[in-house]
Structure 1
Amino acid sequence: MADLTIDVDALTAIDVHTHAEVSKDGHGSLSPELFGASEEYFKAHGHRQPTIDEMAAYYRERSMAAVVFTVDAEHATGWPRISNEEVAESCAEHPDVLIPFASIDPHKGKAGVREARRLVDQYGVRGFKFHPSIQGFAPNDPIAYPLYEAIEELGVPALFHTGQTGIGAGVPGGGGIRLKYSNPMLVDDVAVDFPELRIILAHPSFPWQDEALAVANHKPYVYIDLSGWSPKYFPPQLVRYANSLLKDKVLFGSDYPVITPDRWLADFAKLEIKPEVRPKILKDNAARLLGLSKENA
């Protein structure tokens, strides 16, 4: 696995949830219809899709590191993905601030398993992103289990989108995207069947916030990232658990570029989070989970 050169002590935060939205040749991560729906949902009309080089400059300027990924949903959407190799190679040009994750459609079967192993061994990928609603699979479907097994053996995290998604919102039929696949309770089965797999439940999991809290509280290697929502809209029970039972398992994430870390952090500063918990959420928990600190997750 390629070495990162991230100086954790010099960082103000680690953003565990950012998107590579455009490839070097201009190919977008979503079809125009789904991308437009996402812009409308996040009130991010006309937001510019930054290149990975631009993302690196943005985070370096803020003394932050960022996890970067795209979503491979070719089977369900017919839209070609951005290459995992391109994402990893671009991040490798900025090892002081960018941490590459990959995304593999579980429908790819054995080919996906081989790709996962190659991406970690040869490209330095540090984790994998799943978006069950867009990829069109239930997280506990056995079709994905060979891929989880490989990820568990490789010792890197799996990040699952949970809750409602802005992708397809407002499009007739939701663009074919089924919200039920992003219920955190489906990921609970994965945590049971792969007990050493580190799992991140992405986003406040509307309308299943209590389910997400229960899974993270019950399963020792399940974490929650706080991306995709402004902190001023966080459910009170999420804030309560972040301040107490889950203080070592909650992670800062923005969902950049649709939500910027500047906006997220400004709203987070207004939350009643204990002073000793803030650095855990902003940096320490992620550093441990991602193997950037001496203490292992």
Structure 2
Amino acid sequence: MTDNSHKIIDFRVRLPEALRPDIDVPKENSLQYDAVLGTSDKFGASQTTEALLAQMEAAGIDHAVVHAEYEVGDPADALNQAVADLVNEYPARLSGIGTISMKDFSIKNALRQVTECAERGMIGLSIQPAFFGMTINDKLLYPIYAKAIEHNLLVALHTGVNYTMNKPMAGENPMLIDEVCCHFPDLTVVASHAGWPWIAEMVAVARKHPQVYMEFGGLSPKYVGAPGSGWEVMHRFMNSVLSQQILFGTDWPVMDHARVISEWKDLGLKPHVEQALLGGNAKRLIKKTSLNK
């Protein structure tokens, strides 16, 4: 990624659907996601690399971080290879975050995948524990966290609500990140989706652990500033003491780039906070996790 202090960086986009292995998604996984977020109209073969780059260009997005989303037992190795190939094709526009196999979880296999992600130049791992009956602080994940530190990889953890009908969301309460960071103070954590509805807890964890970042992909920023939305504590603290720990994200194609940027700009954040959110913090984090790669 070339140097530019005013870059806009989307810290969370999905691997274009056209590049993902074709698998059957159980109805209980997709039904409520579609009802809440309209995913059936947004996902599909039309979501190509060209579509992503065109939307980024139109919205003034300089760089994006592509996540290998492992949600229903997808072939993680194939996802990681697809992300690596995409980033290698567009290194100035894209960085990559890989994943590990969570279905039929094997520590040995997951550790191999962590090492391979580092060897492929990824900046981190994306893990969604609750989708597989695990918790953020599950001790089975501790070797993964340790290996991530060894390879200078951040770990992006799904936090807050999930709309999978048969998977409880309690395992992704951001309070559980506190225990993980107490045991792994050198681990850089990105709390994907910023932990709603546990916003006070998310703010407390980030205030305690400066290596915890909050990424806002997949949500409409207008609600962050809306009274009664549950985001009020976040809105106050992100505009002050947590300004260096916030990351702009869309979860493309879930959210449109231009819409999300417009809504953030309408929130009236302090100018330096808005700049940190939209790219400054992400630039620093990408540089940190790209060292020695």
Band the TM-score falls in, shorter-chain normalisation: 0.7 to 0.9
1:249 to 245, 269, 283: 245
- The equivalent of 1:190 in structure 2 is 180
1:217 to 203, 207, 215: 207
1:120 to 89, 105, 118: 118
Check if 1:155 corresponds to 2:155.
no
Q: Which amino acid is the alignment partner of residue 62 of structure 2?
A: M
How many residues align? The count is: 279
Are 1:163 and 1:203, in contact at CA under 8 Å, matched by a contact in 2? Answer: yes
Are 2:189 and 2:211, in contact at CA under 8 Å, matched by a contact in 1? Answer: yes
Which consecutive residues of structure 1, in runs of 5 or more, have no partner in the other structure? 1-5, 169-173
1:83 to partner: Cα distance: 2.1
Runs of 4+ deviating beyond 6 Å: 292-295
Q: Which amino acid is the alignment partner of residue 41 of structure 1?
A: V
Q: Which amino acid is the alignment partner of residue 162 of structure 2?
A: T
1:46 to partner: Cα distance: 1.6
1:66 to 48, 64, 68: 64
Residues 137 and 240 of structure 1, relative CA distance in 2, 3 Å threshold? same
Residues 44 and 237 of structure 1, relative CA distance in 2, 3 Å threshold? same
Are 2:21 and 2:75, in contact at CA under 8 Å, matched by a contact in 1? Answer: no
- The equivalent of 1:202 in structure 2 is 192
1:135 to partner: Cα distance: 3.0
Check if 1:228 corresponds to 2:223.
no
Check if 1:35 corresponds to 2:30.
yes
TM-score (norm 1): 0.86
1:60 to partner: Cα distance: 4.1
CA RMSD of aligned residues (A): 2.4
Check if 1:47 corresponds to 2:42.
yes
Residues 105 and 189 of structure 1, relative CA distance in 2, 3 Å threshold? farther
Deviations, residues 228-281 of structure 1 (Å, cap 9, x unaligned) = 211111112111111101011111111111111211111111102011211111
CA distance in 2, matches of 1:150, 1:157: 10
- The equivalent of 1:258 in structure 2 is 254
Residues 183 and 97 of structure 1, relative CA distance in 2, 3 Å threshold? same
**SS of equivalent residue, structure 1 residue 83:** helix
CA distance in 2, matches of 1:98, 1:29: 28
CA distance in 2, matches of 1:26, 1:219: 37
- The equivalent of 2:284 in structure 1 is 288
- The equivalent of 1:96 in structure 2 is 92
**SS of equivalent residue, structure 1 residue 101:** strand
Are 2:20 and 2:82, in contact at CA under 8 Å, matched by a contact in 1? Answer: no
